[in-house]
Amino acid sequence: MTILLDVFYLLAALVISPVIVYRVFRHKRYRTGWAERFGRVAHKDPAAKCIWLHAVSVGEVNASRTIVQELQKKLSDFEIVISATTDTGMARARALFGDRLQVFYFPFDLSWVMRRAFDRIRPTICLLMELEVWPNFVETARRRNIPVVVVNGRLSDKSFSGYKRIRPFVKGTFRKISLFLAQTDEYARRFRRIGAAADKVIVTGSLKYDTAQTDGGVEGADALVKQLGLDSKRLWVAGGTGNDEEQILLGVYRDLRQDSLFSDLRLAIVPRKPERFDEVAALIEQTGLAFVRYSQIKANPTALPSGEPEVILGDTMGDLRKFYSLATIIFVGRSLVPMGGSDMMEAAALGKCTTFGPHAFNFRQTVDALLAAEGAILVRDAGHLLATMKKCLSEPDFTAKIAENGREVIKNNQGATARTIEQIARLLGRV
């Protein structure tokens, strides 16, 4: 089976190689980390016991923050190493952990590459954030009696549908997982249906509630107000936006600005993917709205934008929380178009009136919790978004109530980190 899987991977690599080459030159992705992707990785202290934590991209890396902090406190005799798959995930992991932990690209799931990686890292336990279960990775760990734990586990509607279709092929891999720590009862049921042993699935809650900052203060936000001249302005922030969505948002913003009641409103758009920054800049320019790219301000903080920009393009990485902290109203993107949504937890945690579209199916648990408590607003389409914005901007008490309800939902769901650490410690014989 391992040989067949390797052959399948190699054939798939041949098929997608033109796409990879295109992204290397067009979007400047996949240019680094190739040695690590082929298993040439190591942890800093070869003599130490090691925890290998893998997080695919930015969302999973962010969710791992409290786990890493508590592991360092409770299991201080273990070294922790972090791997990520995407370039943005690596950048975020290095920003959070690079000064004290080994951070590297996740190796390709070829059997010989995984053997090399395990030989070099020699982990005592492997933690996989959310799902990211690779067959050769799991089999290599099993053969070496290394437990593998899915942490903060979730199976979105789309992923669950896909796994059900290939259940005969993945059931064996799921059976080799030592423990599934699921976010919700629903996700736990899905893991069992795909093949996880019932006694190895435990509901611990979502780590993202614990990592969400609820005190409202974000470092650098005050400077951003001065840099962009927002002192007396209301700010609408559209965060994590996706293809075809910015045009809808710009149309709604133009309609709002036609009303003198909303003449002080400014719009900040922060696209989800950095390779779309230039595309979105061109789109804003076509509207005729005065705009500024935050990257230019960030590079030269003393240079204020000429004139008064109506639209701010957040074309930098790691600054979305700054914009969210200054917002009057937040729209969480990739949800007006069928892309699954972006995480709305951070927006709600900051005590902001949070809105999102009907296609946030990747975050159904958070959506259900917020809507049940009237802690966020679901907008059906552009027209409903426009009406909602007018109501929120015209009725500050209503907006404040939505914001406070949302923050309470986040606070009431915290505690997953402690439950997760307890299960990991039990598995390691530390309880």
3-state DSSP assignment of residue 6:
helix
pLDDT of residue 47: 78
- pLDDT of residue 338 exceeding 70: yes
* Banded model confidence at residue 303, pLDDT cuts 50, 70, 90: low
In the chain, domain spans: 32-205+415-427, 221-412
Q: What is the CATH number of domain 32-205+415-427?
A: 3.40.50.11720
Do 32-205+415-427 and 221-412 show the same overall fold? yes
pLDDT of residue 203: 97
pLDDT tens digits along 209-244: 998 888 767 888 888 888 888 888 999 999 999 999
- Tokens, residue 60: 């999973």
Query: What residues act catalytically?
Result: 60
Q: Which of 157, 136, 125, 180 is nearest to 8 (CA)?
A: 136
pLDDT tens digits along 166-218: 999 899 999 999 999 999 999 999 999 999 999 999 999 999 899 888 876 78
pLDDT of residue 14: 78
What amino acid occupies position 404?
E
Q: What is the CATH number of domain 221-412?
A: 3.40.50.2000
**DSSP string spanning 28-89?**
--S-S-HHHHTT----S-TTSEEEEEE--SHHHHHHTHHHHHHHHHHTTTEEEEEEESSHHH
* Banded model confidence at residue 306, pLDDT cuts 50, 70, 90: low
